Amino acid sequence: MHFFDSKIDILRLTRTKLLKMSNILGGIDTVKFLWQFLGKRERKKDVEISEDIMRVPRLIEPLLNKAALDIVDAYKSKLLNESVTYIVPAIWGAKEKGKMDTVQEEIYKKVTPVIHEIIDKLNVDCHTASQRFTIGYMIKGLIISKVTYMLEVLKNRLKDDFTLQDQDRENPLIYIEPIGNA
């Protein structure tokens, strides 16, 4: 009887040899277990992708970008003066506490048709309300992310422009207001 020195020795065995040794090793079940655990795994063949995997993203990305850009462009003065979370109820159409203001309602009315258009372009069978809600949830999250990103970029650019204007003045310290007492 031959004892194996390492796992490598077992891996070198073929299935046929392992099956012949099944009596020695304790039956066919033990051999199957060893083969699955130590043997070469059958690799799944790579699925051939014949379709254009970027077709749908190319359809919905411009819609997402346009929706976010339109919102920021139309309401930038209001959005810049509010906290970044101001946009969330505007996209969702509901506020946790209280009512939405008129700007939030306008944003919701603008974004809702875009969300429905994106869902239609995805061409996904939504059999349940839960599935449709989940897809809408992801789309709304993307729009919120894009809007907040655009707002932060805009804030940074405005801050940089303001800083450059201060450097151009003769004495920028004149315009700085001291805070506190020494």
101: tokens are 């203001």
Report the pLDDT value the prediction gives residue 120, as an integer from 0 to 100: 86
Report, as ranges of residue numbers, the positions in the chain whose pLDDT lies below 70. Answer: 1-50, 162-182
Work out the number of other CB atoms within 10 angstroms of the CB of residue 144: 19
Please give the angle made by the CA atoms of 155, 158 and 164, to the nearest 5 degrees.
140
Q: Compute the distance between CA of residue 59 and CA of residue 70 in angstroms, rounded to an integer.
A: 18
Q: Compute the distance between CA of residue 174 and CA of residue 44 in angstroms, rounded to an integer.
A: 72
99 half-sphere exposure, CB direction, 13 A CA radius: 4
Report the pLDDT value the prediction gives residue 33, as an integer from 0 to 100: 60
Report field, pTM of the whole predicted structure over 0.85 = no
